[in-house]
Copies of this chain bind each other. A is one copy, B any other.
Amino acid sequence: MHFSGVFPILATPFDHDEGLDLDSFRRSIEFMIEIGVDGITVLGILGEANRLVDRERNALITAAVETSSGRIPVIAGSTHHGTRATVELCREAAACGASAVMITPSREPTPSDDQIVEYVSMVAEVTALPLILQDHPASTQVHMSVPLISRIIESVPNVVCLKEEAPPVPPRISALLPTLRKNQVTLLTALGGLYGAFELERGSDGFMTGFAFPEVLLAMTKAAREGDMNRVYAIYTRFLPLIVFEQQPGLAIRKEIYRLRACFRGNRVRHPGATIDPPAAKQLAGVLERVLPGVDITRPIPV
Q: Are A54 and B55 in contact (CB under 8 A)?
A: yes
Q: Are B54 and A54 in contact (CB under 8 A)?
A: yes
- Which of A88, A118, A238 has most B Cβ within 10 Å? A88
Chain B residues within an 8 Å CB radius of A286: 201
The 8 Å CB contact of A171, one of B84, B201, B273, B279, is B279
Residue A226 at the chain B interface, CB threshold 8 Å:
no
- CA of A283 to CA of B229, assembled, Å: 12
Residue A53 at the chain B interface, CB threshold 8 Å:
yes
Residue A184 at the chain B interface, CB threshold 8 Å:
no
**A interface majority secondary structure:** helix
Stretch at the interface among A31-39, A151-159, A213-221, A245-253: A245-253
Q: Are A83 and B272 in contact (CB under 8 A)?
A: yes
Residue A225 at the chain B interface, CB threshold 8 Å:
no
Stretch at the interface among A66-74, A96-104, A109-117, A294-302: A109-117
> Which residue on chain B has the smallest CB distance to residue A141?
B141
Contact with B along A154-185 (1 / 0, CB 8 A): 00000000000001101100100000000000
Chain B residues within an 8 Å CB radius of A197: 241
Report the copy number of this chain in the oligomer. 4
Residue A2 at the chain B interface, CB threshold 8 Å:
no
Residue A122 at the chain B interface, CB threshold 8 Å:
yes
Q: Are B280 and A170 in contact (CB under 8 A)?
A: yes
The 8 Å CB contact of A108, one of B50, B55, B109, B119, is B50
> Which residue on chain B has the smallest CB distance to residue A143?
B110
The 8 Å CB contact of A82, one of B51, B168, B249, B277, is B51
Q: Are B48 and A168 in contact (CB under 8 A)?
A: no
Given known A-B contacts A53-B80, A54-B55, A233 and B240 have beta carbons under 8 A apart? no
Contact with B along A108-142 (1 / 0, CB 8 A): 11111101001100100000000000000101000
Chain B residues within an 8 Å CB radius of A81: 50-51
Residue A244 at the chain B interface, CB threshold 8 Å:
yes
The 8 Å CB contact of A194, one of B85, B168, B201, B244, is B244
> Beyond the given A109-B250, A118-B272, could you list 10 further A-B residue pairs with CB under 8 A, ordered by the A residue number?
A18-B84, A48-B82, A50-B108, A51-B82, A53-B54, A83-B271, A111-B272, A170-B248, A195-B244, A240-B240
Instruction: Enumerate 21 A-B pairs (CB-CB under 8 Å) in ascending A order.
Output: A48-B82, A50-B81, A53-B85, A54-B55, A56-B88, A83-B272, A84-B270, A84-B271, A85-B270, A115-B271, A115-B272, A167-B248, A168-B250, A170-B248, A170-B279, A170-B280, A171-B279, A195-B245, A198-B287, A237-B240, A237-B241
Seen from chain A, the residues whose Cβ lies within 8 Å of a Cβ on chain B are 18, 48, 50-56, 80-85, 88-89, 92, 108-113, 115, 118-119, 122, 137, 139, 143, 145, 167-168, 170-171, 174, 194-195, 197-198, 201-202, 233, 236-238, 240-241, 244-245, 248-250, 270-274, 277, 279-280, 283, 286-287, 290
